[in-house]
């Protein structure tokens, strides 16, 4: 029988170690999350840092050396990235490696992985004063290209524009990749000083998932990851609501074939609230699934779109609707979407819709723990929100949501901004 | 029921070919919550010229019809099958490739019921003129979404350049204009020809009991009636080994240019272990030439010609094959030139066997990691099986690939006459 223990949480100096011991996977997954409030003056620097961390270490000075090492380790996966959760900009360093027991030779991959991750985090290539200049320059170019690629993907572009408009003046409006025009001005010295500050002060969580000997892993961490103690404010904040009198409507024009209609709603309920389960069910009925009101009415009945979905931005209390439509169908699509929201608010929801949605959410939660990365994500979201919930808490929470709860949740939701990317010169 | 144990992977695969010709494979995954099933027909966008079941004359059908059919199968007289799945706690989906159409669900409850829904909806078509018309709006928007996607455009652009006649050059979804011609009768013709159980494969992976699931599938299938299986005749025009066009440029509303280059496979048509060896060899070789640990990659990255979006891939099916390399770049012409230079230089250098040993380790480890993913296992297993290959022989086959094999592939495949490039460039602001 396959065994899975309840996740263990071990506080060390300077970071928290989370161990998920399970026989389910043929791999061991490591995920290091480095969190700090998103700051306008540092947003681009932090994005660049996430790139530079994977560019070279003391023992493996270039990405060529790193990749040869990873190949020797039976093609271990290694990525660094930067993202945003609520008001925090988070650097993630992830590694996954085969479990030795499926290999013919007994390479100590777990030990090797931990040594390598310690290098990446604690000994990136530097001269005590700055990062290696050529690595920084290469990564600057790559970061600029990454920022540009948002513009090139019209769905992501529309999403970015909606958030900028909807959260104007709020730190949440900043994109986790930072600003293209700031990239070149960052010096290697500045970046290194920022890195030192990050290692000294940021909140760090490390997750290890796999068929591991937890006690041994703990010992290794103790010796390999010396970090200094730090204090953290554990009260997650939610961006102020600044409710608008009237919805904001923004049009952009580009030479595109399909219009991107993105609508942003606000709710006062976030991940840490007990009502969050009801918002999840709300979103599922509204636009989260293929039985949802948006899919049925925008796509199936009116044939206006290939996709019409909604998703929750759980740490800031927002719901985003996304759809790709013909320019001329803008009014019709907006009015159908508004109508569906009104139905939600008026409780025009069938028992079937409610039950179906709960069943789908339950399925989603259970499926997420079949994948090490989505499992870590679920645990980290909980940790960040300050309200830790087990898988059973999730399942029970969803199960307990009533029709009334959904209608109450709907009452907290209001349309804030409509964003439309349309073709040039289109009415 | 056949039972094969794969020692190194610690997996047991169960299989049986049913009386109606359907191939069924079951892989139990202990400890998983999820069960994932795919029901796939060997029918994709390239199959547009064939002799319909029971007919004597070949027909040509409108572009995009396999994909259109995929959409329409979900709709029944009184309901939409997505709803049935979601009532049973499953999420359903489907996709169409050049050579396959797959229907799938994933769920953590009601596995048998969902499996029944999957088999029943795929095996009970219902099309009317009216619902066919309505779907044209939805698929039209799907096509326009891809039209605005520069990665898709450059990918298809380079394939289009390669082929003179082969339908692989036609976008899988067709065009707004080609789908406007599709009728319900066309859909029935294609359905009846290609959705015979003997042209299909069912794969179930998850926390399940194989004998019980197999019994259930068999009783579902034996209750249905099918024509006796017959060989499907598909027609493809003769395709010259040279590319149709050396280069093309697409102007779009983007900030970063893109470049994709490719080599057309001059001699496709391998099956079984021969194809497996060739395909794995090609992937190994591409990784050796342009993977992140190669000096070529390091040079291109340092020269500022590529970034993390750079990727490469090899595709081979019965009648066509190609390798593709590329991504975002500041200078598409220079990138294309540098790639060809590097390939020509490698032809005279000889392959470094220690690098290949390292890359084999990487490939084996990556394969092992992909065994965590039920989606990967089901989809890849089916693709391999349709080419008479076995997914679970991958590790063993890597061991058999020699430096000589790789040198042969390098000289044979990367022929300058088979080279083409496509680029996306920003429209002037």
ipTM (interface predicted TM):
0.90
Between B31 and A56, name the one with better pLDDT. A56
Alpha-carbon distance of B277 to B271, in angstroms, equals: 10
Q: Does A2 touch chain B (CB under 8 A)?
A: yes
Q: What is the mean pLDDT of residues B70-74?
A: 97
* Mean of pLDDT over chain A: 93
What was the pLDDT predicted at A26? 86
Q: Where are the alpha helices (DSSP H) in B197-271?
A: 210-222
What was the pLDDT predicted at A97? 94
What was the pLDDT predicted at A239? 59
What was the pLDDT predicted at A118? 96
What was the pLDDT predicted at A235? 61
Tokens of B103: 């229907």
Are B27 and B14 in contact by the 8 Å Cβ rule? The answer is yes
CB contacts of B134 in chain A (<8 Å) are 303
As beta bridge partners, residue A320 has A264, A311
CB contacts of A22 in chain B (<8 Å) are 31
pLDDT band at residue B9 under the 50/70/90 scheme: confident
Q: To 10 degrees, what angle do helices B295-302 and A63-72 make?
A: 150
Are B37 and B424 in contact by the 8 Å Cβ rule? The answer is no
- A240-249, B94-103, B108-117, B348-357: least confidently modelled range: A240-249
CB contacts of B148 in chain A (<8 Å) are 154, 256-258
Q: What is the mean pLDDT of residues B203-229?
A: 96
Alpha-carbon distance of B284 to B276, in angstroms, equals: 12
Alpha-carbon distance of A24 to A210, in angstroms, equals: 7
Q: What is the mean pLDDT of residues B37-63?
A: 96
The model's pLDDT over A265-317, given as tens digits with 9 standing for 90+, comes to 999 999 989 999 999 999 999 999 999 999 999 999 999 999 999 999 988 99
- pLDDT reading at A105 higher than 80: no
Query: Are the beta carbons of A363 and B92 separated by less than 8 Å?
Result: no
Note if B70 is an active site residue: yes
Query: Are the beta carbons of B148 and A2 separated by less than 8 Å?
Result: no
Mutant choice from B154, B363, B369, B371 vs A, greatest count of A C-beta within 10 A? B369
Nearest CA in chain B to A293: B83
- pLDDT reading at B428 higher than 90: no
Alpha-carbon distance of A113 to A92, in angstroms, equals: 16
The model's pLDDT over B285-333, given as tens digits with 9 standing for 90+, comes to 999 999 999 999 999 999 999 999 999 999 999 899 999 999 999 999 9
Q: Give the Cβ contact number of residue A36 at 10 Å.
A: 17
Long-range contacts of A342-348 (CB under 8 A, 24+ apart): A343/A293, A344/A282, A344/A285, A344/A286, A344/A293, A344/A406, A344/A407, A344/A410, A344/A413, A345/A407, A345/A410, A345/A411, A345/A413, A347/A403, A347/A407, A347/A410
Domain architecture of chain A: domains with CATH: 8-224 (3.30.830.10), 248-423 (3.30.830.10)
The DSSP bridge pattern shows strands B200-206 and B23-28 to be: parallel
**All residues at 6 or more sequence positions from B149 whose CB lies less than 8 Å from its CB, including other chains:** A153, A154
What was the pLDDT predicted at B371? 86
What was the pLDDT predicted at A231? 80
CB contacts of A289 in chain B (<8 Å) are 86, 91
Instruction: Please tell me which of the candidates B83, B359, B369 has its beta carbon nearest to residue A77.
Output: B369
Query: Are the beta carbons of A74 and B361 separated by less than 8 Å?
Result: yes
pLDDT band at residue A240 under the 50/70/90 scheme: low
Nearest CA in chain A to B355: A68
The model's pLDDT over A112-156, given as tens digits with 9 standing for 90+, comes to 999 999 999 999 999 999 999 999 999 999 999 999 999 999 999
Q: Please identify among residues 170-229 of chain A the ones whose CB lies closer than 8 Å to any CB of chain B.
A: none
Active-site entry in B57, B70, B160, B375: B70
Alpha-carbon distance of B394 to A114, in angstroms, equals: 29
pLDDT band at residue A1 under the 50/70/90 scheme: very low
pTM: 0.93
pLDDT band at residue A425 under the 50/70/90 scheme: confident
SS3 B59: strand
The model's pLDDT over B75-91, given as tens digits with 9 standing for 90+, comes to 999 889 999 999 999 99
The model's pLDDT over B331-387, given as tens digits with 9 standing for 90+, comes to 999 999 999 999 999 999 999 999 999 999 999 889 988 888 899 999 999 999 999
Between B265 and B54, name the one with better pLDDT. B265
* Residue that the structure tokens 């940021």 belong to: A202
The model's pLDDT over A3-62, given as tens digits with 9 standing for 90+, comes to 677 889 999 999 999 999 998 888 999 999 999 999 999 999 999 999 999 999 999 999
């Amino acid at each position: 029988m396959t065994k899975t223990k309840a996740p263990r949480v071990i506080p060390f100096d300077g970071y928290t170690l989370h161990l998920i011991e399970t026989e389910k996977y043929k791999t061991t997954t490591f995920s290091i999350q480095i969190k700090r409030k998103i700051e306008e003056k540092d947003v681009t620097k932090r994005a660049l840092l996430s790139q530079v961390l994977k560019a070279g270490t003391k023992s493996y000075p270039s990405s060529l050396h790193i990749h040869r090492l990873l190949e020797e380790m039976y093609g271990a996966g290694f990525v660094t990235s930067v993202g945003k959760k609520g008001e925090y900009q988070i650097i993630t360093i992830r590694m996954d490696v085969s479990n030795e027991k499926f290999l013919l030779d007994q390479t100590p991959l777990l030990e090797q992985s931990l040594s390598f991750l310690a290098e990446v985090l604690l000994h990136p290539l530097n001269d005590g004063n700055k990062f290696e200049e050529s690595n920084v320059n290469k990564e600057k170019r790559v970061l600029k290209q990454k920022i540009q690629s948002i513009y090139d993907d019209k769905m992501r572009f529309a999403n970015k524009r909606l958030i900028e408009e909807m959260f104007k003046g709020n730190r949440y409006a900043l994109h986790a990749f930072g600003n293209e025009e700031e990239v070149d001005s960052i010096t290697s010295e500045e970046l290194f000083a920022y890195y030192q500050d990050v290692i000294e002060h940021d909140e760090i969580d490390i997750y290890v998932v796999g068929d591991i000997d937890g006690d041994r892993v703990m010992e290794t961490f103790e010796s390999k990851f010396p970090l200094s103690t730090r204090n953290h404010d554990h009260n997650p904040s939610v961006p102020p609501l600044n409710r608008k009198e009237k919805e904001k409507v923004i049009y952009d024009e580009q030479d595109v074939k399909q219009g991107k209609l993105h609508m942003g709603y606000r709710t006062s309920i976030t991940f840490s609230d007990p009502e969050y389960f009801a918002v999840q069910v709300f979103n599922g009925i509204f636009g989260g699934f293929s039985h949802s009101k948006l899919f049925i009415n925008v796509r199936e009945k009116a044939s206006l779109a290939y996709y019409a979905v909604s998703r929750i931005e759980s740490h800031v209390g927002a719901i985003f609707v996304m759809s790709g439509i013909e320019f001329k169908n803008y009014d019709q699509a907006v009015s159908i979407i508004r109508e569906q929201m009104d139905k939600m608010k008026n409780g025009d929801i069938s028992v079937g819709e409610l039950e179906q949605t709960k069943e789908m959410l339950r399925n989603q939660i259970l499926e997420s723990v079949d994948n090490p990365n989505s499992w870590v994500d679920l645990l980290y979201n909980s940790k960040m929100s300050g309200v830790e919930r087990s898988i059973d808490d999730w399942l029970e929470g969803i199960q307990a949501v009533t029709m009334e709860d959904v209608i109450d949740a709907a009452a907290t939701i209001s349309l804030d901004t409509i964003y439309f990317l349309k073709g040039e010169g289109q009415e | 029921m056949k039972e094969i144990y794969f020692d190194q992977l610690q997996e047991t695969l169960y299989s049986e070919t049913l009386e109606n010709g359907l191939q069924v494979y079951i892989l139990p995954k202990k400890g998983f919550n999820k069960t994932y099933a795919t029901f796939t027909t060997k029918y994709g966008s390239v199959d547009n010229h064939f002799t319909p079941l029971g007919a004597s004359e070949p027909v040509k059908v409108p572009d995009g019809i396999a994909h259109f059919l995929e959409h329409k199968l979900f709709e029944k007289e009184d309901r939409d099958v997505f709803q049935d799945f979601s009532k049973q706690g499953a999420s359903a989906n489907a996709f169409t490739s050049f050579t396959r159409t797959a229907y799938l669900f994933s769920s953590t409850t009601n596995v048998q019921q969902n499996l029944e829904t999957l088999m029943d909806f795929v095996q009970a078509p219902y099309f009317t003129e009216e619902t066919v018309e309505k779907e044209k709006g939805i698929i039209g928007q799907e096509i326009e979404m891809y039209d605005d996607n520069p990665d898709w455009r450059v990918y298809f652009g380079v394939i289009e350049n390669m082929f003179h006649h082969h339908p692989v050059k036609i976008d899988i979804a067709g065009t707004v204009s080609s789908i406007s011609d599709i009728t319900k009768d066309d859909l029935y013709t294609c359905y009846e020809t290609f959705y015979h159980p003997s042209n299909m494969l069912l794969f179930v992976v998850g926390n399940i009991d194989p004998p019980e699931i197999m019994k259930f599938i068999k009783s579902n299938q034996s209750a249905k009636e099918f024509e006796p299986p017959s060989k499907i005749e598909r027609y493809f025009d003769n395709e010259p080994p040279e590319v149709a066009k050396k280069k093309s440029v697409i102007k779009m509303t983007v900030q970063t240019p893109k470049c994709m280059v490719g080599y057309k496979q001059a001699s496709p048509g391998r099956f079984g272990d021969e194809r497996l060896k060739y395909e794995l060899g090609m992937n190994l070789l591409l990784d050796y030439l342009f993977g992140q640990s190669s000096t070529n990659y390091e040079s291109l990255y340092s020269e500022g010609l590529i970034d993390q979006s750079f990727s490469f891939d090899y595709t081979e099916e019965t009648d066509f094959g190609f390798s593709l390399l590329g991504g975002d770049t500041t200078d598409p012409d220079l990138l294309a030139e540098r790639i060809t230079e590097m390939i020509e230089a490698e032809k005279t250098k000889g392959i470094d066997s220690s690098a290949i040993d390292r890359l084999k380790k990487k490939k084996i480890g990556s394969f092992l990691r992909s065994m965590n993913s039920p989606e990967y296992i089901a989809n890849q297993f089916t693709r391999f099986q349709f080419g008479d290959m076995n997914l679970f022989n991958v590790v063993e086959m890597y061991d058999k690939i020699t430096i000589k094999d790789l040198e042969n592939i390098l000289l044979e495949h990367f022929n300058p006459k088979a080279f083409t490039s496509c680029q996306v460039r920003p429209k002037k602001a």
